Structure 1
Amino acid sequence: MSADLPGHTAQLLHQCQGLILDIGPGTGEVLSRFDASKITAIYGAEPTADLHEGLRKNAEKTGLGQKYHVLRCGGEPESLYPALHKAGVLNPEAAAATFDEICCIRVLCGVPEPAKTIRGLYALLKPGGRLVVCEHVVNPWKTEGRFVARALQWVYSVMGWPFFMGGCELQRDTEDYLRRGGVWKRVSLGYVEPETTIPFIVGELIKTDDY
């Protein structure tokens, strides 16, 4: 499932270039989607230390090798910022617009404070930088989704989905959090399989040049 990417996620990852922040990469099953020749360096924020060995091995296998730097931290500012400072990427005094691209692939469903996390990531993007997302979200039943699928999301959540799935939230309106998380020059997000119980939004958000 980790390697299977909905919609045009693979194409978005292949376009990534420059200095990249990879949030919640797990064991790096999607690293093969990047084009190593376009990348200066990638910093992977992965809080689960048991996954780091697999992450490093996949970085080697996909040609990223010394370009991929594993950080033991989450995506929330209080965890991410100190780790980036320790790695010599970030000034300890304040968040700096540092990264050309930030990738969030099936990770924002599980962060404790999504609004705060997204604002923190926005601050790390350079002006004109790109946030690439592939996230499962609350079913858009009022527009292009289905009421039955939305109802099932509620049922599964009540039955303990977040508990059994490591804090994953089925009913999170991540698109709204993303749109309100910063000042964007362009937002290009679309639903993949909106009629299902686990629909995704896939796309990119480009930070305005003025921030």
Structure 2
Amino acid sequence: MCPPAWVADNIPTLLRPTILLWIAAYHFFMTILEIIFVERKPTKLLNLTNVRMQSFARLWTYNGEAMSEEMPGPLDELLSRCQGVILDIGPGSGELLRRFKTEKISAIYGAEPAADLHAGLLRNARKAGFGDKYHALLCGGEPESLIPALHKSGILKVSGTGGTAENGVFDEICCLRVLCGVPHPKETIKGLYELLKPGGRMIICEHVANPWRTEGSMLARFLQVVFTILGWPFFMGGCELQRHTPEFLRAAGEWEKFDLEYVGAKDAVPFVVGELVKKL
């Protein structure tokens, strides 16, 4: 392949994250200005973690719908088969809820740690037809945050920050573009595995470290390092480009089915999409 053709085929895909990184940085600085001049609470800037969370919520409020218009791989088909009691980790403001079939779902619990996104999340849940079947939880996916929130909601009978559900309580758990940002991915994924019923299904759509040793690209893997150095995790709410999520999922427990495929394996932001079924 001649160089011009290679450039035409690869550079737009490899550099697309640059656009998103600049947009995220813009929203971060706009958040600072809003805190100072609109909210008039400059002392809020002393808590950088909350500023970053507010900035990411702003980014998602303005751009989440566009970023969710096209999802990778067979995700739509996988979500259309979801049924029973579902745990949705990190739903944001609920842009993907319309892809579920509400008549198949008896209840869905959305664990979203960004309080600023909850109004949009509940609004989109109503638009999708969930009614009172949707329960928004102000928490993350990590056990120390999720378990108390589930206990408070009434679905989990154990309490405390280290509680687990030995036999599982959820028919399905959806992890859609969220495991890249949880603080302790191995522990979080293990905790989610324990919350899944035997025979239950986990739906995965996560961007991961580029598989450059097999079907990926060394250049794309290098750019993941570059984007990280330029501040991707800082501006993107803790999102990590270089996580080995498939390995963490496989190590979480015993699976009857482990079906993940790479989508855009040569991109700087490749995804793994598929379904896992917990062993009975």
Which band: TM-score by shorter chain? Answer: over 0.9
Tell me which residue corresponds to 1:137: 208
| Aligned residue runs from structure 1 range 17-166, under 5 A | 17-92=83-158, 94-96=163-165, 97-166=168-237
Secondary structure (helix, strand or coil) at the match of 1:154 reads: helix
Tell me which residue corresponds to 1:189: 260
Deviation readout 1:114-164 (Å, 9 max, x if unpaired):
000000000000000001010000000010001010111111111211111
Distance 1:4 1:164 in 2: 22
Confirm whether residue 9 of structure 1 aligns to residue 91 of structure 2: no
Distance 1:199 1:164 in 2: 19
Deviation readout 1:150-206 (Å, 9 max, x if unpaired):
111111111211111111100111111111111111100000010110000000110
Confirm whether residue 199 of structure 1 aligns to residue 199 of structure 2: no
Identity, % of aligned pairs? 62
> Which protein is bigger by CA-based radius of gyration?
2
| Structure 1 counterpart of 2:158, one-letter code | P
Distance 1:61 1:161 in 2: 32
Deviation readout 1:39-71 (Å, 9 max, x if unpaired):
000000001111111111111111111110000
Structure 1 segments, 4+ long, off by >4 Å, are none
Distance 2:80 2:123 in 1: 20
Greater fraction of residues in helix: 2
Deviation readout 1:73-104 (Å, 9 max, x if unpaired):
00000100000000000012542210000000
Distance 2:98 2:251 in 1: 31
Greater fraction of residues in strand: 1
Distance 2:191 2:257 in 1: 19
Distance 2:223 2:202 in 1: 30
In the superposition, the TM-score normalised over structure 2's length comes to 0.73
Sort the Cα spacing of 1:131 and 1:71 in 2 relative to 1 into closer, same or farther, 3 A: same
Secondary structure (helix, strand or coil) at the match of 2:85 reads: strand
Deviation of 1:29 after TM superposition, in Å, equals: 0.1
Gaps of 5+ in 1: none
Distance 1:49 1:151 in 2: 35
Distance 1:85 1:22 in 2: 16
Distance 2:164 2:231 in 1: 36
Gaps of 5+ in 2: 1-66
| Structure 1 counterpart of 2:204, one-letter code | V
Distance 1:111 1:95 in 2: 18
| Structure 1 counterpart of 2:164, one-letter code | A
| Structure 1 counterpart of 2:70, one-letter code | D
Deviation of 1:3 after TM superposition, in Å, equals: 3.5
Distance 1:165 1:67 in 2: 30
Equivalent pairs counted in the alignment come to 209
